Amino acid sequence: MSSTSQTVASNFIRTIIDADLASGKHRSIVTRFPPEPNGYLHVGHAKSICLNFGLAKDYQGKCNLRFDDTNPEKESEEYAQSIQDDVHWLGFQWNGEVRWASDYFEQLYQYAVELIKQGKAYVDDLTPEQMREYRGTLTLAGKNSPYRERSVEENFNLFARMRTGEFADGSRVLRAKIDMASGNINLRDPAIYRIRRAHHMRTGDAWCIYPMYDYTHCISDALEGITHSLCTLEFEDHRPLYDWVLDNITIPCHPRQYEFSRLELHYTITSKRKLLQLVNERRVSGWDDPRMPTISGMRRRGYTPKGIREFARLIGISKSNNTVDMGVLESAIREDLETKAARVMAVINPLKVLITNFVAGQTESREAGFHPQHPEFGARIVPFDQEIWIEADDFSEAPPAGWQRLTVGGEVRLRYSYVMRCDEVIKDAAGNAVELRCSIDAETLGKNPVGRKVKGVIHWLSCAHALPAEIRLYDRLFTVPEPDADKEIDFCTYLNPDSLTTAQGWVETCVKGAAPETRYQFERLGYFCTDRRDHRPGKLVFNRTVTLKDSWAKEQG
């Protein structure tokens, strides 16, 4: 084990790797991350990325990025590029060039021919419906196809003709000849090739037959010299087929597959099919919608690579159920942002205040640092003027017990500025407060008032200096922890109607030139990020990344 990995929490996979290295079974490790380019990666994939690339880094090994591009109708270059971008953004680099299952199409074909020549694969003419009928059930053994005993010569001839496009799509498949009575349905003569005339993004129309995932994956691992093939628990029953294929072809390397529990995150979903449904039905603005659990969505929302990596470390790797509350992820992000996000002031729900005793040229502004623990972040002047914005929520005419913000006749400290007293409320025809008339204690700039204590501190902005901004307040996408738990109820039923609220607010002028993906703490409001798509000079757009505290848990309690 490397010295680096000594600081990392152990798990059963690390224990296996330690034993393999200690025994000399492997001199170094090679892992891989093998996504299908048929959608954007989500938080569950982030866990797998951190595992595979993290192990390679900790043990000074290698991790390949390999696309399983065997289903051309659902795959695209857009998805492939997004996956590469996500891996890089999370802080990892794959070994060598990007690999593709299609790189091995000719070798995969020849290995299928080898199985045919050994009498271990046959071409089957059953329809998909007949194949399902012949397969049997969990309690009833399957039965042999009437085409199972075709001769080697006939199978070889038919398979070659499948390749040349002589037969219609779906009319024939190549099946491994294993055991139709096996207790493991995956071993009941699984299909390993099907006919599908679909244009492939890398091989074009060179192939009209494509290998199945279970067949392709293990051979790709072996060709790449993978030592530890890590996948989620739903593939545990597929491991005997993984081993059977490698045991029955002439290939020098036999990787071992190990399974760990997949990540299920409360208040969201991690089904690529259902995420695609949300996109296609326009229930979200796209794969990178900041409410989505996709890596690109989390990135756009303002989550940090370090925070996501820390989340993956916190939840750990095991074979037991890995359902995690959203608060764990938000806490990891919050902790990372605490140390690196500059503090500025913004007002989301503005209420105007007129300072009645403001004296031009005499009433002063103060300098404020961008972070209390990081003086190297620098400072800026927070300008004070006769008219200021405060949060409407920070004023109440009939405050509850314990209220420490502004009320008529009460005082608060303006952050980085004076103590201010509310003297009068101006209301509209409906009785709503539209402006406050307040006065400041001119002796309280940078010091406490004499003879009294002022407990409340509120944030504010000078009306003359503040910049308008679109502020998007994101919340959880669903109203229940497990929106797809009941298969009888459409998961969209539980979409949170308040998952996005857009406000027209105000921000300090110091953020004017902020680049996309710049993160801030808006004091007292939360952590926010400039939107990487819509934010630009002249149009400031901020996404709420996470609140300062876990307010959701309190609301639900």
Q: Using alpha carbons, list the distances in angstroms from residue 318 to 375, 515, 516.
A: 42, 40, 37
Strands 62-67 and 99-100: parallel
Q: What is the DSSP letter of 95?
A: S
Residues 6+ positions from 360 with CB-CB distance below 8 Å: 386
| Chain centroid, CA 114 distance in Å | 41
Q: Which of 57, 194, 272, 405 is catalytic?
A: 272
| Chain centroid, CA 508 distance in Å | 30
CA–CA gap between residue 22 and residue 120 (Å, rounded) = 37
477 phi, psi to nearest 5 deg? -70, -30
Question: What 3-state DSSP class applies to 350?
Answer: strand
Q: Which of 32, 135, 172, 262 is catalytic?
A: 262
| Burial of residue 159, with CB atoms counted within 10 A of its CB: 0-12 exposed, 13-18 middle, 19 or more buried | buried
Q: Which of 36, 75, 330, 508 is catalytic?
A: 36
Instruction: Specify whether the CB–CB gap between 195 and 169 falls below 8 A.
Output: yes
Tokens matching residue 27: 């001199």
Q: Is 272 marked active-site?
A: yes
Q: Using alpha carbons, list the distances in angstroms from residue 210 to 113, 177, 202, 455, 495.
A: 14, 18, 13, 70, 38
Q: Is 256 marked active-site?
A: no
Give the number of C-alpha atoms closer than 13 A to the C-alpha of residue 351, restricted to the C-beta side: 22
Read off the amino acid at residue 550.
D
E strands, 2-160, are 30-33, 62-67, 99-100, 121-124
The helix-helix angle for 105-117 and 152-163 (nearest 10°) equals 160
Residues 6+ positions from 107 with CB-CB distance below 8 Å: 219, 223
CA–CA gap between residue 263 and residue 323 (Å, rounded) = 6
Instruction: Specify whether the CB–CB gap between 415 and 460 falls below 8 A.
Output: yes
Instruction: Specify whether the CB–CB gap between 67 and 34 falls below 8 A.
Output: yes
Instruction: Specify whether the CB–CB gap between 69 and 100 falls below 8 A.
Output: yes
Strands 191-195 and 173-176: antiparallel
495 phi, psi to nearest 5 deg? -60, 135
Q: Using alpha carbons, list the distances in angstroms from residue 511 to 31, 110, 308.
A: 43, 60, 26
Nearest to 468 by CA among 309, 347, 329: 347
* DSSP letters spanning 203-267: TBTS-SEEE-HHHHHHHHHHHTT-SEEEEEGGGGGGHHHHHHHHHTS--S---EEEEEPPEEETT
CA–CA gap between residue 406 and residue 458 (Å, rounded) = 8
Q: Is 415 marked active-site?
A: no
Question: What 3-state DSSP class applies to 161?
Answer: helix
Q: Which residues are designated catalytic?
A: 36, 262, 272
